[in-house]
Structure 1
Amino acid sequence: MTVLPSTRALLEHAVDYAGTFPPAALSLQNAVANYARERQGPDAWLLGRLVVPAGSLDELDAELAQEGRVAPSSSEYELSVIMSADARAQLARVGAFNQRWRGGARIVSVEFPPAEPADIPGLVNPVDNSLETFVEVPIDDHLDERLDAISRAGAAAKVRTGGTVPAAIPTPPALARFLHSCAARDLAFKATAGLHHALRSCYSLTYERDSSTAVMHGFVNVSVAAARARSGASVANITEALTESSVSAFHFGRESLVYRGSTTGLQDLASTRRLFFRSFGSCSFREPVEELARLQLV
């Protein structure tokens, strides 16, 4: 599949597939099957890690053991594991999993739930240096304290950009504040939830027929806003990118991305992804793919 260079630079391997999480809430078997299929498909350039809860690692072990699911000769499955309160035992399980599946599947990152600033070093310090570590942060009055603690611990931040209820969606100024604060600290981050769609608009919050709707963030908006934040933009300018709803405002070209007269070259787009906006979790992979195609952004 031919993908515009600027689209690829902005979004390559950006979607961490979290099919077992709401609103999709698939079985692990179905999520792994989807991930395996998409890895072999024409849209694999967009696919990142498979996200699984730490409590499902035994089930994942059994799933991967099925004949033909993972072969040592294939490129490794890259996994991100959602941790819970029993982190030390789970980290031991992560290490054992990586030993067992060496060459076939590898946990490359772990993600912790929100924690008080004073507790963050205790979460991060036991993690093996080979793993990328994310700590979720609420956008509240203690945002700066938490980001400072995450930065000092050598970890990265994680922000929740949506959910199955309107209250879970941060306002554009709040999300812009998070992006600006991360950029000021040169602190990498990932996003999770609510980024199924490319552009900001009103969408259904779940897949139920009677689902309520809300204005949701778009993953193109967040990606462009992250590039702006990393270039030193103000909170107001970052907010502008987050609230953009017109696809015509974005021009994806062969050498750059132009957003309302502001040009970002391929190198800056790629470094934003590599060093700043690492990825976003989504319980659907097909929706982001289909959105990009529908908007003719690939």
Structure 2
Amino acid sequence: MSAASLHALLVHSIDYAGLFPPCSLALEPALSNQARYVRSDEAWMLNAFVLPLGQFDAAKKILSDFDPQHPLRVSALGPKTEDAARFREMFTKTSDTIRSLSAYNVDLISVNQLEMFLPDDVDLALLKEARSIIGSLPAFWEAPADRAEQTIALLAEHNSNADAPTFGYKLRTGGVTADAFPTSGEIAKALVAPATHQVPIKFTAGLHHSLRQYRDEVQTKMYGFLNVLGAAVLAAEHKWDEKQTSAMLDDEDAKSFSFDDEFFAWREWKIDIKRLKDRRRFVTSFGSCSFDEPREDLRALKLL
């Protein structure tokens, strides 16, 4: 059995994104995988299935592997738009598509959150309009790492007038080529800013391994999900600056990380389970095209 602190750090942390590179599965086998994963011993680590709006209708036809005890929970991926005008136009269609899927079979499928790219000319007024359209559905708005602080500040301003901080920031932490990976300093800025503003954050791409490591397939070092999630909660808990946060993001030594039934620790920095659970409300999940590799890595580290 995994340590309680590992469970607290990773519960509902993985949005399975098997449709996307490098796995790039077709919809039916990806959904078949999800149905198998939600019945696995590590189902507690799963959050949602990342599903582009354009595949909603196809997904409705292949739900036979799911049941009311094991439903399909969807993270809806909206279309990428280039400017605010196109964003407004597509957003209404996005909302209608989500409502249609949500009403299709409430016992088998639900939409838990929305992920969508945020053009740089979207302002506070348009965000308020978006909120009025989607209601209480949590939404994560993606912007490049070099726009993280600006975007997080805008989302924080919006959330300050809301009952709950349901608008969050989505950070891309890698890809299938070396140039898709932001620097640890860029990620650190994106982790420190939401901790300051209490804006929820999720991550996508390049995080299917547990620890920072060089990978031949991308010809660069990938970030580890233990590094990123751990740095996010510890940076918030201990009010780290970007330099300290970067140090944890860059750490490749498994011995630096410890988990027991009372604390999660990186080197001399600790957080107890209660505080960890509180911090996880703002450090939500990461998209991964594989659910197998994260589990294999954790088993290799003897954490599962």
TM norm structure 2? 0.89
Deviations 1:159-190 (A, max 9, x none): 00000111110111110011011111111110
Count the aligned residue pairs.
285
1:100 aligned to 2:104? yes
Q: Which runs of 5+ in 1 are unaligned?
A: 205-210
1:197 corresponds in structure 2 to 209
Cα distance, 1:60–1:121 mapped onto 2, change above 3 Å: farther
Distance in 1 separating the partners of 2:125 and 2:70: 33
2:156 corresponds in structure 1 to 151
**Which one-letter code corresponds to 1:78 in the other structure?**
R
1:208 corresponds in structure 2 to none
SS in 2 for 1:236: helix
Q: Which runs of 5+ in 2 are unaligned?
A: 82-89, 160-166
2:17 corresponds in structure 1 to 18
Deviations 1:36-59 (A, max 9, x none): 001111111111100011111011
8 Å contact kept, 2:148–2:189: no
Shift of 1:62: 1.1
8 Å contact kept, 1:151–1:185: yes
Cα distance, 1:187–1:251 mapped onto 2, change above 3 Å: same
**Which one-letter code corresponds to 2:113 in the other structure?**
S
TM norm structure 1? 0.91
1:1-298 aligned at under 5 Å gives the runs 2-64=1-63, 68-71=64-67, 73-84=68-79, 85=81, 86-119=90-123, 121-122=125-126, 124-140=130-146, 142-154=147-159, 155-204=167-216, 211-231=217-237, 232-273=239-280, 275-298=281-304
Distance in 2 separating the partners of 1:212 and 1:228: 28
Aligned Cα RMSD in Å? 1.5
Deviations 1:50-75 (A, max 9, x none): 001111101111112xxx4233x324
Distance in 1 separating the partners of 2:177 and 2:203: 17
Q: Percent identity?
A: 30
Larger CA deviation: 170-179 vs 111-120 = 111-120
Cα distance, 1:212–1:262 mapped onto 2, change above 3 Å: closer
Deviations 1:63-117 (A, max 9, x none): 12xxx4233x324321101101422112101101111121221001111113115
Cα distance, 1:40–1:121 mapped onto 2, change above 3 Å: farther
Shift of 1:251: 1.2
Larger CA deviation: 121-130 vs 9-18 = 121-130
SS in 2 for 1:245: coil
8 Å contact kept, 1:161–1:194: yes
Distance in 2 separating the partners of 1:34 and 1:138: 30
SS in 1 for 2:303: coil
